[in-house]
Amino acid sequence: MSKSEIMSGIDLIPYDQINIMETLREEAIQALGQERWDVITAGIEMPADDMEPEYLSHLTRELLKHIDSMVDPHVSRTIFCRVKHGLKHSDFRWAREQFLKYNDIDSFCAAMRSETLDKFALTATCGNRIRRWAALSLCHKSAGCYHAPVCP
């Protein structure tokens, strides 16, 4: 299996469709019930992804204070573990399929680590080459020198 196949499914995760607060609400209602969620959120404005960051942080802190004071720590930990940045188990189906090709956690992790580090190294190398190319082309344009990018 080529290294590029291991992490190929990560692009399938719909990050642009993830709403963490909606996922938190769903998980809390599943664990606590709608009535309890209504009591916890009574009197506070719910955070939303499109809010100004400082206001969003303030509202999130308020919500977390309410949860901390009204929900058993074990239950809230379970809820937050299920939220995981708004991602659902189905978002990681690709990873399970890739793992089953290896069927060995050590080999799978080693291959993922190797691919991730290889991509990071390539990105860093390409980024450095592009920056050097941009600097050279800016410096030499007046002399009529235009360097081609050296990165694939």
- On whether both 77 and 52 belong to a single domain, the answer is yes
Whether 149 is in a domain gets the answer no
Give pTM, 2 decimals.
0.54
Indicate the pLDDT class of residue 5, thresholds 50, 70 and 90: low
pLDDT in tens, 28-79: 999 999 999 999 999 998 887 677 888 878 888 899 999 999 999 999 998 9
136: amino acid identity, one letter = L
Count the helices and strands in the chain (H runs, E runs). 7, 0
Mean pLDDT computed over every residue of the chain: 75
Q: Is residue 143 scored above 50 in pLDDT?
A: no
Task: Write out the two tokens for 102.
Answer: 């290896």
Burial class (CB in 10 A: 0-12, 13-18, 19+), 138: exposed
Whether 127 is in a domain gets the answer yes
How many domains are contained in the chain?
Answer: 2
Structural domain including 131 reads 3-10+91-143
Whether 150 is in a domain gets the answer no
Whether 152 is in a domain gets the answer no
Task: Write out the two tokens for 45.
Answer: 């404005």
Q: What is the CA radius of gyration of the chain?
A: 23
Whether 132 is in a domain gets the answer yes
- On whether both 107 and 58 belong to a single domain, the answer is no
Whether 137 is in a domain gets the answer yes
- On whether both 60 and 103 belong to a single domain, the answer is no
